[in-house]
Amino acid sequence: MKTAFISGSVWSRLTQEARRHSNDCEVAVAYLGQSGSRLLPLSNGSRLVVDASEHTVEAGLTCPKELLKLQKRGVNIYSVPNLHAKVFVLGSAAFIGSTNVSDSSACRLLEALLMTTEKSAVDGARQFVRDLCLYELTPRVLQRLAKKWRPPKTGKPSTGPEDDDGTGPIHPVLPRVVIAQLSRDQFTESEEEEHSAGMKIAGRLKKPSKEYIVDSFQSVVGPSYRPCDIVVVVWSVDKKPVVVRPPANVLHVKHVRCDGKRSTFVYMERDSRRTDIPRRVLDSQLGRNNMEILRGQSVVRNQLVVRRLLAAWK
């Protein structure tokens, strides 16, 4: 067991350790700016949690292009808008301190870290990161965010509410989660034309890796949808919910009128490596008091349920 305080050459140490253990790293750090993929050279198998909310990207504090570089190396990227921690689990050691992944941190700011190889501390730090791996940033979402990025400005954006009700512990702030009930995917001829036109818009960005696919559905009732929502689709057979599809990020929403009826096409991006879960299994994970959520078609308001729901596919 070893514990050390590091105050000099912080980034040369972190970069060296990240390169040595590039596929066995789990990091939660508020901001990752330009040169982030060079300072933190992670690779396939690692997890990275940052604040990639729109206001943080627009302020230049997190750079989506750098996240895309890491994602292409096989790193799983997640976002938590109220993240402020700086926790780096690199191999068998954990580094906790003040540093963001940025040129300012590496070249201009006085930073400090505490490094430990004490197993319970490292395990705790690793679990901390894993518990934040809820909202995964898919390639098209990162490409959309990249268009919003601007050079860094003075000051930091606000990070949103600190907790769910003002009295409890601090939890991740997550996008809106919507439950969608589906039982058919066949379109009429006119619906097919409208659907195809919307699919071209949704797939207009550069084609991502094969692990991420664009999916879609038609909604005629229920809540409105908007880009950045997370949609959890419940598939039904004979009006009985059977399986729940993995969470997907909404890319594009198209409102149409076909055959005299109004409807909405929702286009989403999801990780094809995640599999469907039987609804009865997910019911048990959500708990008896929340089982009805998967039978409805609405926005999930309870943040505890949102976290349990998204965590089911971790």
285, containing H or E segment: helix 279-286
The domain 3-146 belongs to what CATH superfamily?
Endonuclease Chain A (3.30.870.10)
List, in sequence order, every residue forming a beta bridge with 90; answer none if it has no partner.
Answer: 25, 93
Per-residue confidence (pLDDT) for residue 289, from 0 to 100: 84
DSSP 266: E
pLDDT digit string, tens, across residues 251-300: 999 988 887 788 898 999 999 999 999 999 998 988 888 888 888 889 99
The predicted-structure confidence for 155-170, as pLDDT tens digits, reads as follows: 444 444 444 444 456 7
Task: Write the CA distances from 124 to 13, 86, 168, 312, integer angstroms.
Answer: 21, 14, 21, 20
pLDDT for 257-271, tens place per residue? 887 788 898 999 999
The encoded tokens of residue 256 equal: 């149409």
Residue 107's identity, in one-letter code, is C
Provide the pLDDT for residue 207.
58
- Please state the domain extents for the chain: 3-146, 177-311
Handedness of CA 103, 106, 112, 113 (dihedral sign): positive
